[in-house]
Structure 1
């Protein structure tokens, strides 16, 4: 158990720690000379059963409240010291406010220097204390009077702390490891050592960790837990870690950094939070109000961005967005405190809600509902409520990281909520089982209706389908949902088009006969240099306009692609050419190839080879620069079988989810091979506002 000792300057905190533990908390020469605590002091008390109580003695002077805040992180139990002769003083009230803002609800009030007064004065001080703690986290806490000079009450207080430590359940160590650094130093023959209280998880000798927010990797060479050499430390222990690594030095690890599980390294400089302003503040807090933000052992400048219409009045609470001057390593549900920029007073504090808030549309009802869900302390309740707000899906991996959940805890959450998880690279979109059923019903009904109305089309464009469906998933989540539905054989993905698995685009009987006569002319040995429309018309004795109409229809059905004007290639031949390009690019040391190399592999003329490559350039399969081209493998599925996702944006070549893709009717991929020479059919592209 970590015990913090707080209170006004010269109220006997350091003497109290020494009386309880026998250890002098003031370790600096300046502290001993001035008779006041300047930095954090630490002491330990071994007890029966192998436990060790850790004490953190924090400065009481108003100029060192920022240091007090650094030591308050990780405290399990607080002793609020009040001198019997002085009673409640300004820093007593400020320390009490900070204890309340940090949510430290377990503690005792200790009246020190009891030998200086009589019973009447002790009763007055106790009554004064009870009035001060009313409405705070320490309301109802017991009061004990002690004297470090005579020893009165010290043994009883020590026994009570030991009994509390034995009776209290230790912090769960299921989460991932985090330790805020409150001291960093070097020892000769050892190297860099950092100390702090473990907030969550556990750490072992040999573990690889990350120093955040700097991102410096390190390895735990050795450690002490509760002032004893150990192989591991866990949540609730004060630990000293000996860190090693090529970039690890005393300068690279500072107070305020957090040593953590590398998977948690995700610094943020913008946070949505719940903020409570202390009642004694003189003025409301307005828009863009500057403050100093204290989180764990870190201190950083910040601005308050109001998410409501009115300033936050003293004693009131509201949701805000915190815009930080520098990124910090934080977790959702972490506590924080804000002070004024002159470091004269504590203004308020609260709890972090969302570490990845949007910059825009932060005041919408939908965003307010998301914040209300994320504000719930229990992860299961919070994530379940989040999935009931628009857009009805969320990244489970990000949520688990921000809540410091282990893999086992994340799996338990997934099972408890019966989530449908849609993996897309490192992203794991989650949707509730009920919403997934609604989504699948909606997609099947929409595709069925589309095929009835358009039997000759291969399918509907992905983005158009996404805009039709409810819930309307974000584009990356929608792609992951389509891939799951395709794996379950409910639908099929043809490039940028979606269809029912059983659907086949069909010609009318008259067109079917014409296609059977024309298709062979586009294949065989001449497949890489097929005849143009006018040549096909002459060869078959048909009107040129009829042949062109039929080939355009074949394009919409996914049977052919118009590579150049009036120059159609069968879709399987386009597949074959994409494979040839992939092999050609793979055979080059730098992946770049020339048009001449491609022409030689096809055995056709330079003009046709250039037209084919320009077709692939238009659709991003190849990237043309100078005389060379390179393959973009992410785009290969436009003209072949869909490839598995490889990134958070869905990983496929569909424009949906790309940063340069603008959703809407006018930006729908052109049907029939997505060719810019072909005009989309009216049934696929109604005017804006049409149905």
Structure 2
């Protein structure tokens, strides 16, 4: 099954086109009928000549319902971009095209509607303008098909063009991790809570256990349906109605997420790669309130920006979002940013770090690290995670990303072969991180020796208290230094191999003072306390 969507300005004929293709009126609400405009998402389907099902998401064109439009155009195989011949290119045409670009839509066609209302010269002028407006976008050079809802002219041409474009879609094998962003919730007698959405990735099967965000509740899939057909298994890209077990309707709402992988962690701090709308660049300021739109969710938050912009090679910005609520996203997920007021789109981008640990604005090295990862190249992301986390179990590396396991595994193998990455048991460590950890341990032991020359070794507890690093990295680095003979174990402590306990010049003088005190007095009659009272360094001499 394929999923496509309409896009375009209000009252340009999107819903009429969907009804002509499918026989279904996507405007389902009484208010939509009364006002003759789409407010919520509408859904319908038709079949290709091959018998394959195509689900259509009809989105609202009015600027007041743009967030509903955004929630409908994720995970698309293509878009039918609708422009009315009598109006031509309009403000929401511009905004819809920008949204589609930010969300990574790659295939589309233009349907020029209401062609029965204009003369041929005007129609050709509008077509010429469309070529100019879409230049450099995924619609550049695409087919423009004329259509009229009055006489259904070229309806079969529209259908054939959709089929031809969909033939170019190449699907990746479904991964283990499935996600479905919820766009509707309702109750059916005998079934219970039912949610709908487009399956972004992975597979859903009847009887499968899934988790719900934000409640973290585990539930089970009772039933799967796609456009009135029951399914035992659903593949990526399918429009689904999912019957859920033991999950009350009041717990679930639009914008929530169903997912299958327990590795996915929620976070309210995201590292992002941001493309800014040129006209809205003045809104990109530290601590500026924004609205984060991803999947079907809408969360308010604020920009967290460095003092000076960190600009990537492709002109995008490295930035951090601090959201008011936790979300579950992956590296590679796309999003839109709008202002709460005035309600304008400031840009869109891609999630780089879905579980970022916040750092100081002035930490230039962390901004540069985020910038390096913003290429979203597998190698850059592996190095980024191993630098930020210092040590990661191989099975958990980039599990919260859109990269396939084969991409990650191949990249790790290359890095290990060239010596950039070290593997210890099931853990991966950058060679640079390993060297830094080893130096940190060795220097801590040497410094202890210098300050405590009278002691034969450094207690292990003292070393763990001084050196701050993950426990597993500490153990592996210490084990490596012991194996290499740089450090040695002695009793309950650690020493540098060549170190031998002895007194410093200062303590040598203190020793002579203590011996002098003993010679001047009867050694048999002097207590330890009397000697310590006579010389404050006496304690170290006794040691």
TM range (shorter): 0.7 to 0.9
CA distance in 2, matches of 1:412, 1:18: 47
Aligned to 1:72: 73
CA distance in 1, matches of 2:478, 2:153: 73
The 1:449–1:340 alpha-carbon spacing in structure 2 relative to 1, beyond 3 Å, is closer
Aligned to 2:146: 145
In the alignment, structure 1 segments of 5+ residues that lack a partner are 509-541, 549-677, 684-691
Give the aligned length: 506
Aligned to 2:422: 420
Aligned to 2:34: 33
Structure 2 contact 434–477 (Cα < 8 Å) conserved: no
The 5 A counterparts of 1:538-557 are: none
TM-score scaled to structure 1, two decimals?
0.64
The 1:488–1:123 alpha-carbon spacing in structure 2 relative to 1, beyond 3 Å, is farther
Aligned to 2:506: none
Aligned to 1:266: 265
Query: What is the Cα deviation at residue 148 of structure 1?
Result: 2.7
The 1:200–1:386 alpha-carbon spacing in structure 2 relative to 1, beyond 3 Å, is same
Aligned to 2:19: 18
CA distance in 1, matches of 2:270, 2:406: 27
The 1:128–1:148 alpha-carbon spacing in structure 2 relative to 1, beyond 3 Å, is same
The 5 A counterparts of 1:118-267 are: 118-174=119-175, 176-225=177-226, 228-245=229-246, 248-267=247-266
Structure 1 contact 455–506 (Cα < 8 Å) conserved: no
- In the TM superposition, what whole-angstrom CA distance separates every residue of 1:537-592 from its partner, at most 9, and x where no partner exists? xxxxx9899999xxxxxxxxxxxxxxxxxxxxxxxxxxxxxxxxxxxxxxxxxxxx
TM-score scaled to structure 2, two decimals?
0.80
Secondary structure (helix, strand or coil) at the match of 2:101 reads: helix
Aligned to 1:100: 101
Per mean C-alpha deviation after superposition, the further-off stretch among 138-147 and 332-341 is 138-147
Structure (1 or 2) with the larger CA radius of gyration:
1
Structure 1 contact 455–505 (Cα < 8 Å) conserved: no
CA distance in 1, matches of 2:473, 2:541: 24
CA distance in 1, matches of 2:19, 2:296: 24
Secondary structure (helix, strand or coil) at the match of 1:332 reads: coil
Aligned to 1:61: 62
The 1:439–1:545 alpha-carbon spacing in structure 2 relative to 1, beyond 3 Å, is farther
Aligned to 1:301: 300
CA distance in 1, matches of 2:244, 2:75: 21
Query: What is the Cα deviation at residue 119 of structure 1?
Result: 2.4
The 5 A counterparts of 1:184-583 are: 184-225=185-226, 228-245=229-246, 248-281=247-280, 283-309=282-308, 317-342=316-341, 344-384=343-383, 387=386, 393=391, 399-403=397-401, 411=409, 413-418=411-416, 419-421=421-423, 430-432=428-430, 436=434, 457-458=456-457, 461=460, 474-482=469-477, 485=480, 497-498=493-494
CA distance in 2, matches of 1:390, 1:176: 24
CA distance in 2, matches of 1:141, 1:169: 19
Query: What is the Cα deviation at residue 356 of structure 1?
Result: 2.7
- In the TM superposition, what whole-angstrom CA distance separates every residue of 1:101-124 from its partner, at most 9, and x where no partner exists? 212122112111122223212221
Superposition RMSD on alpha carbons, in Å?
Answer: 4.1
The 1:409–1:316 alpha-carbon spacing in structure 2 relative to 1, beyond 3 Å, is closer
Query: What is the Cα deviation at residue 395 of structure 1?
Result: 6.5
The 1:175–1:137 alpha-carbon spacing in structure 2 relative to 1, beyond 3 Å, is farther
Query: What is the Cα deviation at residue 234 of structure 1?
Result: 2.4
Aligned to 1:116: 117
CA distance in 1, matches of 2:315, 2:495: 54
Secondary structure (helix, strand or coil) at the match of 1:415 reads: helix
Secondary structure (helix, strand or coil) at the match of 2:329 reads: coil
In the alignment, structure 2 segments of 5+ residues that lack a partner are 503-522, 530-537
CA distance in 1, matches of 2:261, 2:87: 48
Aligned to 1:52: 53
Secondary structure (helix, strand or coil) at the match of 1:99 reads: helix
More contact order relative to length (CA 8 Å, sep ≥ 6): 2
- In the TM superposition, what whole-angstrom CA distance separates every residue of 1:174-227 from its partner, at most 9, and x where no partner exists? 251111111111111111111111222222222211111221211112212465
Query: What is the Cα deviation at residue 93 of structure 1?
Result: 1.3
Secondary structure (helix, strand or coil) at the match of 1:17 reads: helix
CA distance in 2, matches of 1:543, 1:421: 61
Aligned to 1:43: 44
Structure 2 contact 378–407 (Cα < 8 Å) conserved: no
CA distance in 1, matches of 2:6, 2:525: 93
Query: What is the Cα deviation at residue 157 of structure 1?
Result: 1.8
The 1:205–1:413 alpha-carbon spacing in structure 2 relative to 1, beyond 3 Å, is farther
The 1:306–1:18 alpha-carbon spacing in structure 2 relative to 1, beyond 3 Å, is same
Per mean C-alpha deviation after superposition, the further-off stretch among 87-96 and 124-133 is 124-133
- In the TM superposition, what whole-angstrom CA distance separates every residue of 1:221-254 from its partner, at most 9, and x where no partner exists? 2212465322222222222221112xx1111111
Aligned to 1:618: none
The 5 A counterparts of 1:671-686 are: none
Aligned to 2:513: none
